[in-house]
Structure 1
Amino acid sequence: MSAAEWKKKCVEEWGLQGAPMPDSVDWKSVYEARPLGRNLVKNPSPHGESKDNPLPESDLEQRPMRGPPQREPQGDFSGWTTSTEKLPQDRSGIPPGVVVCSMSQYSWFSMEQVVDLKAEGLWDELLDEFQPAIAIQDWYKDTQLQENVFELHVKLLGADKKTVISEHSVKPTQDRNAESPTWKEVSHMFSGYGPGVRYLSFQHRLKNMFMDGFAQGFYQTLSSDSSVIIKPTKTSS
């Protein structure tokens, strides 16, 4: 196929009428990359869970497993940059002299991916002039460990990976009186964000708890089915 035929194929299959389609772009490579409508998040379910699978009644009611205690999240985190932030233990309500048999240690487990939009097949003129809608979706397991167990932070970045052109953050609160944990959805649609976007930073923070002493156990908040999808829809004014 000729370059013109590859370009025509992109326009017809993605419905890109009105989008800038310069001849300088390698349309065969763009078509094969399929950047529109495809999830750009690598390894979207690193914990091996799916929002479509049922959850147990309550993790906190499960008996801790025998053997060495688990202290870190489990899963395949390839494609993600991870870090752990341990939170200070709250001993303010413990009277002096009281022997504590078990204490909770909370921590934030952060997972981030930086998506190179041009490497995924998008081109400058599409991002700067057409500014397609960018749909963000994530699911997390409401563990009810605390009122806030999940955060999502998404940033649209410039070519230097530092300039923030647009961003969205969400920190939902949980109903700790709920009878059982459930999968919760968070989503956002970026539109009209302006020119210059070349990268997207996708980060979520999951709260975990380690219990020492007689009630020893590790309880983690899970994520699943994370997605970043570029829509073939013009959103700029």
Structure 2
Amino acid sequence: MSSAEWKQKCAAAWSLQGAPMPDSLDWKSLYEAKPLGRNLLRNPEPHGLSKDTPPPEAELSEEPPRGPPRFEPEGNFTGWTTNTEVLPHDTSGIPAGAVVCQLPQHSWFSMEQVVDLKAEGLWEELLDEFQPEILIQDWYEESQLHESIYQLHVKLMGADKSTVIAEHSVNPTEDLSTYSHNWKEVSHVFAGYGPGVRYVHFLHRLKNQFMMEFFQTRFTGTSVIVKPTKSSR
């Protein structure tokens, strides 16, 4: 196929009506890379779980495990930059004079990735002029570990990796009065964000708890997808 035919094939596959498509680009390579419509994050399911199946219930040991406290979850986090922040004990709800045998201790486990949009096959004219919608989606495990168990912060950044062009943060509060254990969806669509976007910085934090045993908050189905559509606004 000629370059013009590959370009036409890309235009048809992505329905890029009105988007700039320079003849100088390697349309065959772009078609094979599929930069539009696919998940640009690496390793979106490090716990090996699917949002289409309820999260597994925690299994308690017959005898409490011995050893030092644990604060990091299990999983294959290849592709993610991770960090653990152990939080101090919360004693605010303990009445004066009460005898406390043990308190739960919480930790934040942070995971982040930076997506290089040009390296993934997107071209400057598309990002600057057409400004396709960028969909962020995540699913975290609902639990009663704490009223705050999940945080998300996503930034669209310029070529210097320091200029923030647009950002979105989420810090939901959990209902601890009723037991519920499902996947909870978090999503956002960036649209009309302006020219200059070259990177997406994705960061989410999930809270874990140690009290005799370790209880973690898991996630799955995390995605950053550049859609072949433009905001109608």
TM-score by length of 1: 0.90
Match of 1:158 in 2: 158
Separation of aligned partners in 2, 1:48 and 1:56: 11
Match of 1:198 in 2: 198
**Contact 1:129–1:236 (CA under 8 A) maintained in structure 2:** no
Match of 1:234 in 2: 230
1:33-70 deviations in Å (ceiling 9; x for gaps): 1011101111001122221222355x4x8347646564
Kindly report which structure 2 residues correspond to 1:172-211, keeping only aligned pairs within 5 A, or say none.
172-211=172-211
Separation of aligned partners in 2, 1:228 and 1:145: 28
Separation of aligned partners in 2, 1:62 and 1:55: 16
Following superposition, the deviation at residue 191 of structure 1 comes to 0.4
Name the Cα RMSD after superposition.
1.9
Deviates further, 37-46 or 65-74: 65-74
- Whichever residue aligns with residue 169 of structure 1, its letter is S
Separation of aligned partners in 2, 1:99 and 1:206: 30
Separation of aligned partners in 2, 1:173 and 1:91: 20
- Whichever residue aligns with residue 115 of structure 1, its letter is V
1:167-188 deviations in Å (ceiling 9; x for gaps): 1111111111222311100111
Alignment: residue pair count: 230
Instruction: Look up the SS of the partner of 1:139 in the other structure.
Output: strand
Q: Residue 209 and residue 10 in structure 1: after superposition, are their counterparts in 2 closer, same or farther (change >3 A)?
A: same
Match of 2:217 in 1: 221
Instruction: Look up the SS of the partner of 1:32 in the other structure.
Output: helix
Deviates further, 189-198 or 1-10: 1-10
Deviates further, 122-131 or 177-186: 177-186
Separation of aligned partners in 2, 1:236 and 1:158: 23
Separation of aligned partners in 2, 1:90 and 1:179: 22
Following superposition, the deviation at residue 71 of structure 1 comes to 3.4
Match of 1:62 in 2: 60
Gaps of 5+ in 1: none
Following superposition, the deviation at residue 6 of structure 1 comes to 1.1
Instruction: Look up the SS of the partner of 1:7 in the other structure.
Output: helix
Match of 2:6 in 1: 6
Separation of aligned partners in 1, 2:34 and 2:51: 25
- Whichever residue aligns with residue 231 of structure 2, its letter is T
- Whichever residue aligns with residue 23 of structure 2, its letter is D
**Contact 1:193–1:236 (CA under 8 A) maintained in structure 2:** no
- Whichever residue aligns with residue 121 of structure 2, its letter is G
Separation of aligned partners in 1, 2:64 and 2:53: 22
Following superposition, the deviation at residue 236 of structure 1 comes to 7.4
Following superposition, the deviation at residue 232 of structure 1 comes to 0.7
Match of 1:38 in 2: 38
Q: Percent of aligned pairs with the same residue? A: 65
Q: Residue 208 and residue 137 in structure 1: after superposition, are their counterparts in 2 closer, same or farther (change >3 A)?
A: same
